[in-house]
């Protein structure tokens, strides 16, 4: 521990929306953070109004709201056009019987219509349930059934993956094409439904360690969190072109792909199609993307493609952010050398509704750390009794309640909701971390991935990061293998980069590399080469738990 702290990256010179961050941390209040949103003046809130319509009313209707890119297709919509389309969709939903509080799902690819549908649902006071585009029947069914969704917006292709007969509550399926072709009188009433800060707006399904996915419900108040974190962490300004690579079916894609940038009047990029390094680089160069929010897996994929980035002019990029899984220092160094930018890690969860631990653009970065608490957020590292541990100790990463983005409930399941709040006054994340004297938080693992070898606590992330710094290692998953003497020993599963072949010598070299660069007790005692590592289908996170299960099964067999 602490090995990765030695490198400290200073902020790149420039002007940022939040520069006096230490002073703000002293004086911050969430009430102040809401200033700039219109409900502060009018007393009436609707998250969709704040996100889009407000800008039209403030005279920015002609500003470009979005660039849509898919293959050779290009579309541009202004804020006024997004508002008008949102109004149209909202009226169609009303005419189909949707009322305040109803759950309406969206099952669409990453297109402008997907974003507009989500806003339209929220505009009439209903709760939007965006679904990831790659879901198959069972995933679609489970989610809509859980919160008894009544209406679904989809298209001709994706509707084939909607098993309507198995979803009793679903009375209407709307095809976007038909919505687009509906015509209303110019004089039709404004569809905005004014609601309370506590009313529900958005439901995202996320996995727990057991059972079916849980429906995390967010309230309209969350836009306060989205707005201020968009301003300070994304650092959105009027001339920025902002691209978040996540689909709105995931909370990153809705909160930081739609709400936070648009609440700050950004021009956003919506890109369809699958990941391909050349396409991503071409998109940045073509649209002169200035702010880019993605994930470590994507950065690692780009990194592994080597020099092709030299074929593109990526000089427009001024601010890059990451979320979702540990950001390896190697990736930060790569971006620094190849792109001339720092990657700013951010930590939060579906349940937290917005950033909680961040690297502000004006602050120094410590590679290996997720950053410092956002203003107004207090982090605690807790022991098993819920008592705060001293700086430097690894424990349960918890956050003082409440804050505006915090989920309102887990749909229909009070027990699962209460499990997050088992210690009075704290939200418990399920992550393990430590915090240093300067408030930087260092992720270790999920609560159950931690390795304990001969009484030493070892974070697999640190070992994996080191392993992939070795030129032969493409990816690594590190687990604690049960061991009769040491409790656990460190075992690494790796994949090799093209051009390397497995040999005893190579594996020993890799082990020594970790031992020499990190510490002897964390160097893997065993290294096994696999064709590929088990990963989550969607986010590509390496499934250490699966590696561990596989290992335990083998040990049992051989005994």
The residues binding ligand WT7 (CB under 6 A) are 206, 251-252, 323-326, 345-350, 370, 429-431, 443, 446
Which CB sits closer to ligand WT7, 114 or 321?
Answer: 321
Encoding tokens for residue 488? Answer: 């656990």
Q: How far is the CB of 344 from ligand WT7 (least distance, A)?
A: 10
Encoding tokens for residue 511? Answer: 């082990």
Cα separation, 341 vs 339, whole angstroms: 5
Which CB sits closer to ligand WT7, 77 or 441?
Answer: 441
Cα separation, 271 vs 252, whole angstroms: 15
- Strand 200-206 vs strand 214-219: parallel, antiparallel, or unpaired? antiparallel
Phi, psi (5° rounding) for residue 292? -135, 125
Which CB sits closer to ligand WT7, 206 or 495?
Answer: 206
Q: How far is the CB of 96 from ligand WT7 (least distance, A)?
A: 31
Q: How far is the CB of 450 from ligand WT7 (least distance, A)?
A: 12
Which CB sits closer to ligand WT7, 90 or 428?
Answer: 428
Q: How far is the CB of 397 from ligand WT7 (least distance, A)?
A: 8
Q: How far is the CB of 113 from ligand WT7 (least distance, A)?
A: 24
Which CB sits closer to ligand WT7, 347 or 426?
Answer: 347
Which CB sits closer to ligand WT7, 89 or 227?
Answer: 227
Cα separation, 466 vs 520, whole angstroms: 13
> Could you tell me the CA-to-CA distances from 409 to 27, 72, 142, 221 in Å, in that order?
29, 42, 18, 14
Which CB sits closer to ligand WT7, 151 or 291?
Answer: 291
Q: How far is the CB of 206 from ligand WT7 (least distance, A)?
A: 5
Q: How far is the CB of 80 from ligand WT7 (least distance, A)?
A: 31
Q: How far is the CB of 350 from ligand WT7 (least distance, A)?
A: 3
Q: How far is the CB of 348 from ligand WT7 (least distance, A)?
A: 5
C-alpha distance across the termini of the chain, in Å:
34
Q: How far is the CB of 295 from ligand WT7 (least distance, A)?
A: 8
DSSP 138-178: HHHHHHHHHTT--EEEE-TTGGGG--GGG-TT--EEEEHHH
Which ranges of 269-418 does DSSP label H, i.e. alpha helix? Answer: 277-287, 296-304, 329-338, 414-418
Cα separation, 460 vs 451, whole angstroms: 7
Give residue number: closest CB to ligand WT7.
350
DSSP 420-442: GG-STTEEEEEEEEEE-TTS-EE
Encoding tokens for residue 71? Answer: 């293959």
Q: How far is the CB of 248 from ligand WT7 (least distance, A)?
A: 13
Which CB sits closer to ligand WT7, 251 or 298?
Answer: 251
Which CB sits closer to ligand WT7, 447 or 469?
Answer: 447
Which CB sits closer to ligand WT7, 259 or 443?
Answer: 443
SS3 for 463-490 is: HHHHHHHCCCEEEEEEEEEEECCCEEEE
Encoding tokens for residue 249? Answer: 């079916």
3-class DSSP assignment, residue 381? strand
Which CB sits closer to ligand WT7, 4 or 174?
Answer: 4
Q: How far is the CB of 164 from ligand WT7 (least distance, A)?
A: 28
DSSP 181-248: T----TTPPP----B-TTSEEEEEEE--SSSS-EEEEEETTHHHHHHHHHHHTS---TT-EEEE-S-T
Which CB sits closer to ligand WT7, 125 or 375?
Answer: 375
Phi, psi (5° rounding) for residue 400? -65, 130
Encoding tokens for residue 111? Answer: 């297109």
Cα separation, 544 vs 496, whole angstroms: 17
């Amino acid at each position: 521990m602490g090995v990765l702290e030695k490198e400290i990256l200073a902020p790149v010179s420039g002007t940022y929306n939040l520069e006096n961050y230490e002073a703000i941390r002293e004086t911050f209040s969430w009430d102040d953070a809401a200033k700039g949103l219109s409900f502060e003046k009018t007393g009436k809130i609707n998250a969709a109004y704040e996100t889009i319509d407000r800008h039209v009313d403030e005279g920015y209707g002609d500003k470009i709201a979005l660039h849509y890119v898919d293959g050779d297709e290009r579309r541009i919509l202004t804020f006024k056009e997004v508002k008008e389309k949102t109004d149209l969709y909202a009226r169609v939903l009303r005419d189909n019987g949707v009322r305040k509080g109803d759950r309406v799902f969206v099952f669409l690819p990453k297109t402008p219509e997907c974003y507009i549908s989500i806003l339209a649902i929220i505009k009439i006071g209903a709760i939007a349930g965006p679904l990831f585009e790659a879901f198959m029947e069972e995933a679609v069914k489970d989610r809509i059934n859980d919160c008894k969704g009544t209406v679904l917006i989809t298209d001709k292709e994706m509707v084939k993956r909607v098993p309507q007969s198995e979803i009793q509550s679903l009375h209407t399926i709307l095809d976007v094409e038909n919505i687009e072709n509906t015509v209303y009188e110019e004089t039709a009433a404004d569809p905005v439904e004014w609601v309370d800060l506590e009313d529900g707006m958005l439901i995202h399904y996320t996995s727990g360690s057991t059972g079916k996915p849980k429906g995390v419900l967010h309230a309209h108040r969350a836009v306060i969190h989205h707005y201020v974190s968009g301003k300070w962490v994304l650092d959105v300004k009027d001339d920025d072109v902002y691209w978040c690579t996540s689909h709105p079916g995931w909370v990153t894609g809705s909160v930081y792909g739609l709400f936070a940038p648009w609440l700050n009047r950004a021009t956003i990029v919506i890109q369809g199609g699958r990941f391909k390094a050349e396409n991503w680089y071409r998109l940045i160069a073509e649209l002169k993307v200035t702010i880019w929010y993605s994930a470590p897996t994507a950065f690692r994929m780009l990194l592994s493609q080597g020099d092709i980035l030299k074929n593109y002019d990526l000089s427009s990029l001024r601010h890059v952010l990451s979320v979702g899984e540990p950001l390896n220092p190697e990736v930060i160094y790569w971006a620094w050398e190849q792109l001339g930018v720092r990657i700013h890690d951010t930590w939060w969860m579906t349940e937290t509704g917005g950033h909680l631990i961040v690297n502000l653009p004006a602050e120094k970065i410590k590679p290996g750390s997720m950053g410092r608490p956002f203003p107004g957020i207090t982090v605690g590292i807790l022991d098993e009794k819920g008592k705060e541990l001293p700086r430097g100790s690894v424990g349960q990463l918890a956050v003082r309640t409440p804050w505006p983005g915090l989920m309102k409930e887990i749909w229909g399941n009070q027990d699962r909701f209460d499990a997050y709040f088992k210690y009075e006054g704290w939200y418990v994340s399920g992550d393990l971390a430590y915090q240093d004297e300067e408030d930087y938080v260092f992720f270790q693992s999920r609560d159950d991935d931690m390795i304990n070898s001969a009484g030493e606590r070892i974070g697999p992330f640190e070992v994996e990061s080191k392993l992939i710094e070795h030129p032969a290692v493409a990816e690594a998953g590190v687990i604690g293998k049960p061991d009769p003497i040491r409790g656990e020993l460190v075992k690494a599963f790796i994949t090799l980069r093209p051009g390397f072949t497995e040999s005893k010598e190579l594996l020993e070299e890799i082990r020594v590399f970790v031992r020499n660069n990190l510490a002897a007790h964390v160097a893997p005692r065993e290294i096994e080469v696999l064709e590929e590592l088990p990963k989550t289908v969607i986010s590509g996170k390496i499934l250490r738990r699966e590696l561990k299960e596989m290992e335990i099964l083998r040990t049992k067999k051989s005994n």
